Amino acid sequence: MVCTQVLERRWWACLWLLTGTQALLPGLIVRRGGHRALSLVVPGAVDQIAEPAVRQFSPAVPAEAVGEIQEQAARAMFQQLAAADLAVPTSVASSGRATASFYASPAIQGDRPPAVVCLHGFDSSCLEWRRLVPLLEEAAVADIFALDVHGWGFVGHSPDSGTEFSAVAKREHLKAFVDQVVGTDRPVVLMGASLGGALAIEFAAAYPDTVAKTVLIDPQGFVDGAGPAASLPRFLARLGVRVLGSPQLRSMANQMAYSDKETFATEDAMKIGRLHVLCEGWEDANLEYMCSGGFQPSLKVPEVKCQTLVLWGRDDEILDPALYAERFLEEVPNSRLQFVDNCGHVPHLEQPKVTASHIVDFLR
């Protein structure tokens, strides 16, 4: 959940930030007798594509690692993950198929509500949204989908799968998810944090008719690329990725993410944020993304024409609000900016109630 180029300046000084990280399908997951049951209503947004096979999903993560997680919100979200097998362009996967893992809130009954698709930051997972999503569910203003961005999260990948993990591949995978799972027959709101904001910006610029609104949380909007990894010899880049997955680096990044470090930058937060690293293919998928050059959102920011809410932790140590926040008001014509006090880079984790209040007001 980080601006990769900024942090790599500190890592390759302190490469990476992770903060303790980190549709319903139109009728996908409903609660029956206290349990979740899967049922799919096909949105019909993609012609000549069979409905995606949606299933409950148990990530291939060591049970002992999951058992060490203490935060109940993280455990609950992890236990309720779903997966969908998507039809994707062959530029994303040579087989034309790719899996999406995600959390989806219980569907709101009645008329088709808007859908909010939550996009986590760099090398994170949908668990990044564990504190915010329950508050949005209580407000009942939209169906909520917290997606594992392609190449991160809990979908394992074999090295010979023929799958791409570039910024473009991540964007096109998101398009398939929105078309085939979320449905475009209702307003779609993209909510991206940090690098997830870069993905939201590039998607909204590429598919303006698909996105009704965007919510950008401490977004990487004016920093392009994936840092030095793209120009390093591959063996050095791989070494960097391995360091990226280490508990030591994650702990340092955890400290950088919060304003109230004593309360939030805990060992449990580090373990939650590192959980997806244990999935098969994590190293290769990360390496492919970083060597591909990363996102290039800065030229796309002015192309975001939809209503946009920008939320920024006033004490952000990763993306300085004094440098970047006001620029969104200047370059996005239909935007508003709201600072979150006593908060670092991750308002959705450090100040979830305040963050949810701003988002709910924006959605209504």
Confidence of residue 277 (pLDDT cuts 50, 70, 90): very high
In which domain, by residue range, is 28 found? 4-363
The predicted pLDDT at position 224 comes to: 95
Kind of pairing between the strands at 213-217 and 307-313 = parallel
Residue 303 and residue 59: Cα distance in Å, rounded?
A: 37
Answer yes or no: are the C-beta atoms of 69 and 275 closer than 8 Å: yes
User: Mean pLDDT, to the nearest integer, of 270-295?
Assistant: 94
Residue 64 and residue 40: Cα distance in Å, rounded?
A: 33
SS (H, E, C) 183-212: CCCCCEEEEEECHHHHHHHHHHHHCCCCCC
User: Mean pLDDT, to the nearest integer, of 161-189?
Assistant: 96
**Average pLDDT over all residues of the chain:** 87
User: Mean pLDDT, to the nearest integer, of 271-275?
Assistant: 97
Q: Which residues of 213-243 are buried (b: 16+ CB within 10 A; e: fewer)?
A: bbbbbbbbbbbbbbbbbeebeeeebbebbee
Which of 101, 115, 106, 110 minimizes the C-alpha distance to 134? 106
The predicted pLDDT at position 19 comes to: 32
Beta bridge partners of 310: 216, 337
pLDDT value at 17 more than 50: no
Which of 339, 319, 320, 337 minimizes the C-alpha distance to 328? 337
Could you list the active site residues? 194, 316, 345
Q: Which two tokens stand for residue 258?
A: 């919060």
User: Mean pLDDT, to the nearest integer, of 242-251?
Assistant: 92
Residue 255 and residue 20: Cα distance in Å, rounded?
A: 10
pLDDT value at 30 more than 70: no
Q: What is the CATH number of the domain that holds 127?
A: 3.40.50.1820
Confidence of residue 24 (pLDDT cuts 50, 70, 90): very low
End-to-end CA distance of the chain: 27
Cα separation values, 105 from 9, 22, 118, 131, Å: 37, 18, 12, 13
Tokens 């935060």: give the residue: 71
> How many domains in the chain?
1
Q: pTM of the entire structure?
A: 0.87
Query: How many residues belong to the chain?
Result: 364
User: Mean pLDDT, to the nearest integer, of 108-130?
Assistant: 94
Vertex 327 angle, CA 321 and 328, to 5° = 95
Which of 332, 329, 336 minimizes the C-alpha distance to 361? 336
pLDDT value at 348 more than 50: yes
Helix axes 167-177, 282-292, angle to 10 degrees: 110
The predicted pLDDT at position 50 comes to: 54
Residue 4 and residue 122: Cα distance in Å, rounded?
A: 7
Which of 261, 334, 259 minimizes the C-alpha distance to 302? 334
